[in-house]
Amino acid sequence: MVEGNGLVEVTESAASATTNAERPTTTTRLGVGLDALNRIAPWLIGAFALAYCLLFTMMAVYWRDHLRWGFDIVVYAQPIWNTAHGRIWELSIYNFTHTELGHDFVPMELILAPFYRLFGGNMSLIVAQSATVALGGIGVYAIARQAMPKIHRIIPVLFGVLYLSLLFIQNANLEKIHLRNFVMWTWFFAWLGYRTKRTWLVWTMLLLALTSRSDVSLVVFMFGVMCLIERRRWTLSWLPMIVGAIWFVGVVYILVPHFSTRGFVYEDNDRWLGGGLSGMIHSALTRPVYVLRGVVTAAKLRYTFDLLFPFAFLPLLKPRILLIPLPIYALNILSNYPHQYTIQAHYQALIVPWLAIAAVEAVADIVERRGWVGGHVAARWDRAGWRQRMTANASRTALALVALMLLFSIAQQETITSPIQSYLLHHGPSARAVAGRQLIAMVPNDAPLAITQKLAGNTPDRRSIYAFPGDPEYESPDLVQHADYIIGDERLSTDEAASIARYRADPAWEVMDERGGFILMRKRQLGSGA
């Protein structure tokens, strides 16, 4: 009986062991899940980029239609629209030039013109901006995959998610249309070409980036400097330096001044240093304490902190990469224009992608046990007897670091209001915005129009459009006299309200309608502008 019971117990134990062996452990199930995610990782980052594009397209349209945009949308849309209609780079908004060549050299506008003509309206620019920004997330994923081939593919997806969720990226995509935003993705693929020794890819991306704005040439120049330090071939070192220098000097000091009565207007932002590159250099050499006082301010130190914080300061481990956007950072902190040194404006579009690249490379050094940082970390692990364990857990190390950066990014968005939170929690109809669009609909589509900045994005494209009431620096109030119609906003500022009062009293103008704080006026003798 005892033997029988023992036999039964042995049989039951064997059966139980067999059942347990057939039942997958938690670790096994996790491995199977990771394998499944690895297979669909490219689809996941693609789906996330698409979702980002759709969400921010809707948000940008909402921003435009609810009085959150300024007149800058016309700065880019008008020369593109005029080019699409055969008037290459023509514009009417400035008092110092009538061609985009007197503002900057932007070949990308020629590229965008056929699409603008085909799809019509600034909606095409909104979609294009969101789509190109989304490409940056895919670029970050591609670099992380190439730099860390041993880790699970799902982790590079998180690097792409981190980049697209950055507060700066959100703000840049919503702060009107800016062509610097259109080329942020090119830096990632240029770096991918650099890593994989595909010079053709590097130059394709650099040349495409150069079509956006003249300051991109400084980034191209510094890319060459970095490659020279890395002792790369002349096509990646000396050639970008030569092209960048010629492009910058040719545009800023030869081409634009030829078509402008004021030279390169953006040098006005450095007027406190004497204006222009020569003024900055002279002030730095002759008045270093004065320059230092203008740079080491609370706002500019906060700006530097805000740039690095969401990356957990990891980019500082890759100083050679940080050389590339250094001139743009220097221009921003040397400027006396506050928008240039805040992450809530678009002026960081040539900096943040390189911070993301530096962060990925820093993580890759640690995970792959290479470079100065990776070598020191590996040596510590070896002495602690962790070498085999950490080699096996490269994915965990990369996951921990990208999770840390995501945590820092979320923390930043909690201290500075995230546009996504604002949109999801507070979006709704605006009766005032509707009233403004109703006034716009009363103006003939081809009539010369001077319009208040908050309604500029809702105005149908036309050959002649002016900023109301005008800025003496760039958009002289005298230009308003060229318009046949005026739409002003009495609630925007006391200066605009005072300008409206003057036009009310001017017998050459008559009030057509008023609603929502906006006023529509028409010239009594149409077509009599100066």
Using the predicted structure, report yes or no on whether residue 361 has a pLDDT greater than 70: yes
Across 86-90, 337-341, 364-368, 460-464, least confident range:
337-341
pLDDT tens, residue by residue, 185-197: 999 999 999 999 9
Residue 417 pLDDT: 74
More confident residue, 51 or 279: 51
Give residue 1's pLDDT.
42
Residue where the block lists tokens 């980034």: 219
pLDDT for residue 483 is more than 90? yes
Residue linked to tokens 């716009």: 440
Residue 346 pLDDT class (50, 70, 90 cuts): confident
Question: In this predicted model, what pLDDT tens digit does every residue of 77-97 receive, in sequence order?
Answer: 999 999 999 999 999 999 899
**pLDDT for the residue numbered 72:** 87
Q: What pLDDT sits at residue 439?
A: 96
Residue 6 has pLDDT above 70, yes or no: no
Q: Is the model's pLDDT at 2 over the cut of 50?
A: no
The predicted model scores a pTM of 0.88
Q: How many CA atoms lie within 13 A of 355 on its CB side?
A: 25
Least confident of 64-68, 265-269, 522-526: 265-269
Task: Inform me whether the pLDDT recorded for 213 exceeds 60.
Answer: yes
- The closest alpha carbon to 333, from 343, 320, 318, 321, belongs to 343
For the chain, the average pLDDT equals 87
CA distances from 41 to 128, 153, 353, 356, 367 (A): 25, 6, 22, 20, 20
Quick one: residue 430, left, alpha or beta (phi over 0 = left, psi -120 to 50 = alpha)? beta
Using 50, 70 and 90 to split pLDDT, how confident is the model at 452?
very high
Q: What is the pLDDT of residues 216-252, one digit of tens each?
A: 999 999 999 999 999 999 999 999 999 999 999 999 9
Work out whether the CA dihedral 414, 418, 420, 422 comes out positive or negative. Answer: positive
Q: What share of the chain in percent tops pLDDT 70?
A: 88
Mean pLDDT of 417-442: 87
With 70 as the cut, is the pLDDT of residue 34 above it?
Answer: no
Nearest to 323 by CA among 227, 238, 235: 227
